[in-house]
Structure 1
């Protein structure tokens, strides 16, 4: 199919239009609709979801989907980033409402819940994390978020001081991979409890050296 060289906005797609927008409004709307449709489809599915089904649910053609997301991995990455935005946005409220250790456990639980509900994309996410394909930007965001909890906890005495946030991220991703492998909700909760407990200060029981 031949694409017009000049879109209706008067500027080539991807370049600023006369109003100063970096992307045509209709292109942005289509991208947002595709991400929303994918989020819904991945949540409702018991297995893999076809890209054609996502395009239909978004009300666009498959060609439009491929223009925005050339591969399935690109679409999954975009959905993951959008979900991570939502999970990260709750951090200030959690720290306002709870001690840092409780807030961290609650945040990890919310992250685990969004991963567990996206059954239609867990295999792709798991492969992406295992290969490092989606690690750099998203892992940095997770590490920065965890660092926020650790800093507050070290200040208030509810979490150990001197813990490397990237070490915690590594452990957390290990739990994530277990979730993606089909761990039960109960086991996931126990793993997150163990991780949180390991970050709390040691109490003087007479057995610590």
Structure 2
């Protein structure tokens, strides 16, 4: 009988999460110019720790992207308590734009991951659809969001805003566009 799998120590888990957070920031800022050693230094860990968790640059980029995606998707349910679904949707859309803008900055790095044979986007659509679905279902229940919309409708809106936000790098314009989309989601 094989030994049971080792549990990850909490400090190792925290190091890994912090590395992914820093890596996402650095790749968004520097794209492929980001050196793993610089990421490790900025995260306050040794380069050996980085490579123990992520043996290749592509593995690090992929994991950083997937972590950011998971965070933005989990945020949907976290925002609901104490808010109407429309208020939670507004807050979630702002988080989504921040995520998408960072992803836009990581474009070259993500393309390198794809070239290596990994698809970092494989689960993106399903996870994002599920997150938006949670908010739309809550909105149908509390009456604060239209019931004739699908997750895909909202994601198409948000994809357009994300594209504009990434290219223009204008937080003010992004905020206005998010407000316009929210107006479209609220029943008349």
TM over 0.5: yes
Distance 2:14 2:75 in 1: 25
Give matches, 1:1-80, under 5 Å.
18-21=3-6, 31-32=16-17, 34-39=19-24, 41-42=26-27, 45=29, 48-57=33-42, 58-61=45-48, 64=51, 68-72=54-58, 74-80=59-65
SS at match of 1:135: coil
The answer (yes or no) to whether the contact 1:115–1:122 under 8 Å persists in 2 is no
Matched, 1:179 2:165: yes
Distance 1:37 1:183 in 2: 20
User: Which range is displaced more, 33-42 or 103-112?
Assistant: 33-42
Q: Which residue of 2 aligns with 1:157?
A: 143
Of the two, which has the highest radius of gyration? 1
Distance 2:108 2:67 in 1: 18
Q: Which residue of 1 aligns with 2:154?
A: 168
Of residues 168, 175, 188 in structure 2, which corresponds to 1:189? 175
Instruction: Indicate the RMSD between aligned Cα atoms, in angstroms.
Output: 3.7
Task: Give 1:109 shift.
Answer: 0.6
Give matches, 1:94-105, under 5 Å.
94-105=79-90
Distance 2:71 2:89 in 1: 15
Q: Which residue of 2 aligns with 1:5?
A: none
Number of residues of Structure 1 aligned to a counterpart in Structure 2: 181
1:165–1:115 CA distance, 2 compared to 1 (3 A): closer
Task: Give 1:169 shift.
Answer: 1.4
Task: Give 1:147 shift.
Answer: 0.5
Note the residue ranges of structure 1 that are not aligned, 5 or more in a row.
1-16, 204-209
User: Which range is displaced more, 101-110 or 89-98?
Assistant: 89-98
TM-score for both structures, normalised by structure 2? 0.72
Structure with bigger helix share is: 2
The answer (yes or no) to whether the contact 1:42–1:49 under 8 Å persists in 2 is yes
- Once the two structures are superposed, what CA deviation does each residue of 1:9-31 show, in whole Å capped at 9, x if it has no partner? xxxxxxxx834238899987775
Note the residue ranges of structure 2 that are not aligned, 5 or more in a row.
none
1:128–1:167 CA distance, 2 compared to 1 (3 A): farther
SS at match of 1:81: helix
Q: Which residue of 1 aligns with 2:123?
A: 137
Task: Give 1:145 shift.
Answer: 0.6
